[in-house]
């Protein structure tokens, strides 16, 4: 149900206003949806990427369910300034994009791509609906930003729904990245919350309550509460917080949504992370909690209360508390209260963690053991 507009909020009428823009001015203040749409046009037309400039919201903006064009749609047109939501709300955003005959899609959300030096802070995005359908090799969809490509996101919230799909053919092995806040993160996300439902489908799928694919840093009390669902014609990596992770996640981050994935080959599903791999133990997941239920269905199914498969890196002082964990498949299934499978990569640290799910063993299949088998060594 759309969020109701209050007195003083601006209701966007679908027009685009660029009259506020002056090339040599380093700051602007928005009170209207038309001005916000003007920012999208200026960035997307490559007129200016706003490096060194600050945009500040001075009023709540109701986008009224009208079709929204993301601010920045690919790397060459990425936003590189500071966008300060100033604690204001952006409400009722609708993005319905169907791409045809393209090789790649940069990103879809309020912002498509937040580039290097880009900062998105203090934004509260509510009651949005994003639907992305693409035949491209890469689709990235998130409520706030499709691809955080080296930028910073701080003190933001996103509540709504994200649905992304890519088309799979023998000649097009596609990648679908979908998250409640960001589809893909290669920058820094701090103190952010996503209460978004996430649905993703395609060939190789990465879906998470906060971020679909994380190779950057997520820190300080980030939270995801939306349910996550994925289906894949190949492999699905799906988590309540992050689908695929190779970066550090630290200090008080939590996932509480239920997670489910089905795949034609392998499904890696975890209450916090679907699949985790890093060659550096300093890129660790520390002091985090997962409380959602987990379901994996695939010929090879890996389900864990915290992580589906942990192949390399470090996880310390983390807790899983979900009460239902299921793995079903025709070939092999691994289910653990904390992890479905733990690999034996040379850089792998797993210590001080807690399996509070009531489900045993903590690790469905531990490759560190000789011979490999179930384990409670977390």
Give the pair of three-digit tokens for residue 109. Answer: 């959300």
Q: Domain residue spans in the chain? A: 1-226, 255-279+292-378
Running DSSP on this structure, what letter comes out for residue 71? B
Domain covering 1-226, topology: Pectate Lyase C-like (2.160.20)
Task: Give the model's pLDDT for residue 298.
Answer: 98
Give the single-character DSSP code of 172.
B
| Per-chain mean pLDDT for the chain | 93
Distance CA 15, CA 33 (A): 8
Digitized pLDDT (tens) for each residue of the chain, 378 residues in all: 565 566 668 999 999 999 999 999 999 999 999 999 999 999 999 999 999 999 999 999 999 999 999 999 887 889 999 999 999 999 999 999 876 544 455 799 999 999 999 999 999 999 999 999 887 667 899 999 999 999 999 999 999 999 999 876 655 567 899 999 999 999 999 999 999 999 999 989 999 999 999 999 999 999 999 999 999 999 999 999 999 999 999 999 999 999 999 999 999 999 999 999 998 877 899 999 999 999 999 999 999 999 999 999 999 999 999 999 999 998 999 999 999 999 988 789 999 999 999 999 999 999 999 999 999 999
Three-state DSSP state, 40: helix
DSSP one-letter code for 170? T
- Tens-digit pLDDT profile for residues 252-287: 999 999 999 999 999 999 999 999 999 887 789 999
363 and 369 in contact (C-beta within 8 Å)? no
0.85 exceeded by pTM: yes
Other Cβ atoms less than 10 A from the Cβ of 169: the count is 10
Cis peptide before 361 (omega within 30 of 0): yes
Q: Which residue from 211, 208, 187 is spatially nearest to 199, judged by alpha carbons? A: 208
């Amino acid at each position: 149900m759309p969020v109701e507009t209050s007195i003083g909020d601006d209701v966007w009428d679908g027009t685009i206003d660029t009259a506020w823009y002056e090339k040599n001015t380093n700051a602007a203040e928005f009170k209207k949806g038309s001005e916000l749409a003007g920012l999208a046009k200026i960035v997307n037309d490559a007129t200016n990427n706003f490096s060194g400039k600050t945009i500040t919201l001075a009023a709540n903006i109701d986008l009224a369910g009208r079709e929204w064009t993301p601010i920045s749609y690919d790397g060459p047109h990425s936003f590189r300034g500071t966008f300060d939501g100033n604690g204001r709300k952006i409400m009722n955003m609708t993005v319905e994009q169907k791409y045809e005959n393209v090789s790649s899609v940069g990103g879809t959300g309020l912002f498509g791509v937040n580039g290097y030096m880009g900062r998105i802070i203090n934004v509260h995005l509510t009651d949005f609906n994003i639907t992305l359908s693409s035949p491209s090799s890469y689709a990235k969809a998130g409520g706030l930003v499709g691809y955080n490509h080296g930028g910073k996101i701080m003190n933001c919230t996103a509540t709504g729904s994200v649905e992304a799909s890519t088309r799979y053919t023998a000649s097009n092995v596609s990648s679908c990245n979908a998250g409640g806040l960001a589809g893909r993160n290669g920058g820094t996300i701090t103190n952010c919350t996503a209460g978004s439902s996430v649905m993703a489908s395609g060939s190789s799928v990465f879906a998470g309550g906060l971020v679909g694919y994380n190779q950057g840093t997520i820190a300080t009390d980030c939270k995801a509460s939306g349910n996550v669902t994925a289906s894949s014609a190949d492999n699905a990596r799906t988590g309540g917080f992050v689908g695929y992770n190779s970066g550090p996640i630290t200090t008080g981050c939590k996932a509480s949504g239920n997670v489910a994935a089905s795949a034609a080959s392998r499904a890696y599903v975890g209450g916090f992370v679907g699949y985790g791999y890093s060659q550096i133990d300093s890129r660790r997941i520390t002091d985090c909690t997962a409380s959602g239920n987990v379901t994996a269905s695939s010929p090879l199914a890996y389900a864990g209360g915290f992580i589906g498969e942990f192949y390399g890196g470090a996880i310390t002082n983390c807790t899983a508390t979900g009460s239902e964990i299921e793995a079903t498949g025709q070939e092999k299934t691994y289910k653990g209260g904390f992890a479905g499978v733990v690999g034996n990569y040379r850089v792998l640290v797993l210590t001080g963690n807690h399996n509070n799910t009531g489900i045993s063993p903590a690790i469905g299949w531990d490759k560190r053991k000789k011979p490999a088998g179930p384990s409670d060594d977390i």
